[in-house]
């Protein structure tokens, strides 16, 4: 039988606690030496939290350096009125024009000689501010330490390049190990070689969120917090290193409930069959919204502060929740997908562990069709 109901227009929303964002920033700030600059990473729409609003909040707190992935992300922030330094961590793509970098007063990470050639060949007289990236063992973007001598010469010769920073990136920074130490030393050597050849960067930086906790010797004079700003940990082993507050609370609503008898199958593939009479709440959220399909038959949500199991296969726009032990739950009842209710909390870290992934993917995967509400 059905208990009818119609979902509210705001059936699902993500509530962003800007006060928690500030608290996390202050906690990170307390971990680094006085004078160390925090470059706040707000790429990927601030890890799903909304780059414009997050950027404005951090800017109001005095943050003056931001990191984004692309020129388009930087342009969006400039058009929103953000005037602070914006570093494009991914550099410039072959199909993009250097002119747009200058027009929007962006700073570029330069990762290869082709990018330097693009800048040198571009029109205009104003220098392009860059952070030169050194690949010390990540195996992704950056100049090899073997290229330092040639790189220094090219940087000195270029009249279009202003070297504001030199940067690198850890391959694995959750735990201290010999490989990480070798990366730090390789970076120190590369920076020293550049300085010997007349390249004097204002900022030297290597530490991301995990390295801020694990590698204090890699703080240098700038660090790049990302995931920790939003209240999640790069690795659960770092929970004792810093106290963080989740910034996002993601919730939906019960649309209707349905009573099934024993031996009834639910959802695609008949992956769940009831063993008893079971009352099921239908919640209008699914993998199209960023709720992982891998949580089928294993995820849980909070209703009235109690954990309720996700039954069957997660659909594109629906999940099914066992509310047998909450028989009076009805349409409009709040369903917390991520966040706290009563004494219980479901974190992005927990969801990621259940889904076999990392909290970065969970947060970044929450669809833009889910409205973000700020407080």
Catalytic residues: 43, 268
Please report the DSSP string for 235-272 in residue order: SGGGTTT------EEEEEE--EEEEE-TT-EESGGG-E
Tokens of 55: 């950027």
Query: Terminal CA-to-CA distance of the chain, rounded, Å?
Result: 40
Beta strand 248-253 pairing with 334-341: antiparallel
Tokens of 113: 């000689």
Secondary structure element (H or E) that encloses residue 181, with its range: helix 178-196
Q: 3-class secondary structure for 267-285?
A: CHHHCEECCCCEEEEEECC
* Contacts (Cβ under 8 Å, ≥6 apart) of 287: 293, 314, 315, 316
Cα distances from 299 to residues 269, 284, 296, 313, 330, in angstroms, run: 17, 15, 6, 10, 21
Q: Which of 85, 82, 151 is nearest to 114 (CA)?
A: 151
Question: Which residues sit opposite 143 in a β-bridge?
Answer: 134
CB 349, CB 313: distance < 8 Å: no
Give the C-alpha separation, 5 to 11, whole Å.
12
């Amino acid at each position: 039988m059905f208990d009818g109901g119609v979902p509210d227009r705001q059936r699902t929303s993500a509530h962003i606690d800007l006060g928690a964002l500030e608290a996390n920033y202050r906690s990170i700030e307390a971990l680094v030496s006085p004078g160390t600059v925090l470059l706040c990473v707000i790429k990927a729409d601030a890890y799903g939290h909304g780059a414009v609003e997050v950027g404005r909040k951090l800017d109001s707190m005095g943050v003056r350096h931001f990191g984004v992935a692309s020129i388009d992300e930087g342009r969006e922030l400039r058009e929103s009125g953000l005037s602070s330094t914006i570093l494009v961590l991914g550099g410039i793509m072959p199909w993009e024009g250097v002119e747009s970098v200058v027009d929007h007063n962006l700073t570029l990470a330069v990762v290869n000689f082709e990018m330097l050639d693009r800048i040198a060949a571009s029109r205009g007289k104003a220098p392009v501010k860059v952070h030169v990236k050194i690949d010390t063992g990540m195996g992704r973007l950056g100049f090899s330490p073997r290229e330092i001598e040639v790189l220094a010469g090219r940087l000195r010769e270029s009249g279009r390049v202003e070297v504001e920073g030199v940067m690198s990136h850890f391959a694995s920074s959750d735990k201290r190990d010999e490989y990480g130490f070798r990366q730090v030393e390789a970076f120190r050597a590369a920076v020293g070689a550049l300085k010997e050849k007349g390249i004097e960067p204002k900022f030297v930086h290597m530490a991301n969120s995990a390295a801020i906790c694990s590698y204090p010797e890699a703080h240098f004079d700038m660090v790049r917090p990302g995931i920790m700003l939003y209240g999640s940990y790069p690795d659960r082993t770092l929970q004792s290193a810093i106290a963080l507050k989740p910034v996002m609370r993601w919730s939906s609503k019960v649309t209707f409930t349905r009573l099934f008898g024993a031996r009834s199958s639910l959802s695609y593939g008949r992956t769940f069959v009831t063993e008893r009479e079971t009352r099921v709440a239908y919640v209008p959220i699914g993998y199209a919204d960023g709720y992982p399909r891998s949580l089928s038959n294993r995820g849980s949500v909070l209703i009235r502060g109690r954990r309720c199991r996700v039954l069957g296969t997660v659909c594109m726009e629906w999940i099914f929740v066992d509310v047998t032990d909450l028989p009076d739950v009805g349409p409009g009842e709040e369903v917390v997908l991520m966040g706290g209710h009563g004494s219980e909390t479901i974190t992005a870290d927990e969801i990621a562990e259940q889904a076999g992934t990392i909290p970065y993917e969970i947060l970044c995967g929450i669809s833009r069709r889910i409205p973000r509400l700020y407080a």
